[in-house]
Structures are given as C-alpha cells and as structure tokens.
C-alpha cells in the first residue's frame, strides 16, 4: 500500500472530487505541483472502445502547439541525400546498416525513430528490439516517411503519440508544470480534438468516458468530458 506524504494529501484535498473545465483542472494541477523538479503534466483519457477488436484501435500522433518541454533524441534510418537532410534537420543519430548493428548490440540512445520506406526491410530485422520499447517506425504515426527532415523537426518540436491501451486509456504528456495554463490548455484542446477526430466508427455508446490531468507527483483533476 502506497503512503503519500503531507504535500500530496493536502493537494488531493484541494482538488477533491470536483469536475473542472480543462483550464480550471490544469490550473489546479499547476497550483498543487510541489516537487523540486519541473514535473510533466499528463492527461489520461478513458475511451469507450474495445481495443481487442481491430476496428476499435485508437492510435496516432500529433504535433502539440507548444511542444512538451522535453528534449527528444531522434534516430533516423536513412541513406544518401535523405541521411544528409535528417542531419541538417537536427537528428541526433543517422545511419543504416551501422545503426541496425548498434541497436543489435544494445546501444539504444534515442527516444524516437524515423525510417525511410526503403530502410524498413533492414529495420524489420530489429523489430523485436524496437517494438516493445515503442520505438518502431510506423507509417500510421508518420515515422516511416520520405520527408525525414519534416518529421525530425516535428518530433523535436513536441509531436506526441497517443495509443489506447488494453483498458482503452490513452496516457499522453501535455507539457511541463512550468508552462502557462494557456499553453497547457492549447495542447490539451489540440490533443482531445485529435482523439475525437479518430473515433472508430464501430465504437458504440459514450466515447470520452473520463479525462484526468495530473503532474508527475501530484493528484489528478477530473475534466468535464462535455467541454
């Protein structure tokens, strides 16, 4: 059983069981974040989907208007001119066979990966390494692309992935506690609009079942799903 400290309990009492507007909830999260580091603000969205059914999976990515405040290390599988474009765009690691070998040897020093379509045959050989870590390039997420420079810039600038887990919940970072409430709200609205946009046509009943925002060490604040 986890025992929370006085600060957490005090914050939890402050937030209580009230349901807030997005801006009010994010204000509460900021007011009740007391860690000695710049906590991440995250949203958890519970959806009315059955992810065991292939036609009800919810997955994609979106570039948040104000980024996430996190430094993202990007690796690109590319050759020739596209490798040069990736480096010029700010990719941290660029390679082909050499990068595949590095990963096989356990050297994974990046947070996101991009590949050009011709490289996917080689990248597929390390799918069992990258897949479980959520690092496998995916056409649906835009990370298998000919325009590697554009995706490098988006990932560096705050493109986030959303994916409903087996319980139908998406956990997505919205930014840092140091962000303004306005910037966090903009990021929240962009994300929720995107998740509603990709609602599976076969999903029945209420789609947005519950939404909670919280900081890394703080309690959650419930958001009105009708807003």
The CATH number given to whatever domain includes residue 132 is 3.40.50.790
131 and 78 together in one domain: yes
Domain with 83, as residue range(s), is: 74-157
Q: Is pLDDT at 126 greater than 90 in this prediction?
A: yes
Q: Is pLDDT at 11 greater than 80 in this prediction?
A: no
Q: Mean per-residue pLDDT for 147-167?
A: 93
Q: Tell me the CATH number at 208.
A: 3.30.190.20
Domain membership of residue 15 (yes or no) is: yes
Chain mean pLDDT for the chain: 92
Q: Which of 42, 53, 83, 77 is nearest to 175 (CA)?
A: 42
- The whole-number pLDDT of residue 6 equals 72
Q: Mean per-residue pLDDT for 210-224?
A: 94
96 and 169 together in one domain: no
Q: Mean per-residue pLDDT for 175-198?
A: 97
Q: Mean per-residue pLDDT for 170-197?
A: 97
166 and 191 together in one domain: yes
178 and 135 together in one domain: no
24 and 92 together in one domain: no
Q: Which of 2, 9, 3 is nearest to 218 (CA)?
A: 9
Whole-number percent of the chain with pLDDT over 90: 84
pTM for this entry:
0.80
> How many domains are there within the chain?
2
- The whole-number pLDDT of residue 5 equals 67
| C-alpha to C-alpha distance for 137 and 157, rounded to whole angstroms | 18
- Dihedrals phi, psi of 151, to nearest 5 degrees: -70, -35
Q: Is pLDDT at 206 greater than 70 in this prediction?
A: yes
Q: Is pLDDT at 1 greater than 80 in this prediction?
A: no
Q: Mean per-residue pLDDT for 187-207?
A: 95
52 and 164 together in one domain: yes
CB 141 within 8 A of CB 175: no
Residue 94: C-alpha distances to residues 75, 89, 97, 105, 114 (Å): 6, 11, 10, 16, 10
60 and 83 together in one domain: no
90 and 149 together in one domain: yes
């Amino acid at each position: 059983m986890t025992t929370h400290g006085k600060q957490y309990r005090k914050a939890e009492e402050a937030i209580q069981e009230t349901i807030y507007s997005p801006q009010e909830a994010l204000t509460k999260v900021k007011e009740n974040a007391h860690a000695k580091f710049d906590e991440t603000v995250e949203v958890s969205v519970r959806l009315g989907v059955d992810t065991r059914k292939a036609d009800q999976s919810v997955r994609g990515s979106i570039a948040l208007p104000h980024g996430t405040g996190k430094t993202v290390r990007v690796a690109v599988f590319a050759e020739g001119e596209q490798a040069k474009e990736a480096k010029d765009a700010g990719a941290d690691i660029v390679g082909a066979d050499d990068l595949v070998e590095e990963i096989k040897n356990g050297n994974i020093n990046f947070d996101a990966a991009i590949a050009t379509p011709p490289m996917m045959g080689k990248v597929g050989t390390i799918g069992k390494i990258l897949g479980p870590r959520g690092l496998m390039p995916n056409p649906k997420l835009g990370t298998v692309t000919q325009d590697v420079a554009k995706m490098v810039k988006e990932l560096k600038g705050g493109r986030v992935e959303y994916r409903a887990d087996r319980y139908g919940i998406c956990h997505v970072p919205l930014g840092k506690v140091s962000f303004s409430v306005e910037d966090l709200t903009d990021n929240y609205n962009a994300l929720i609009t995107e998740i509603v946009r990709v609602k599976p046509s076969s999903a029945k009943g209420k789609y947005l079942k519950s939404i909670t925002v919280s900081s890394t060490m703080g309690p959650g604040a419930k958001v009105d799903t009708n807003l």
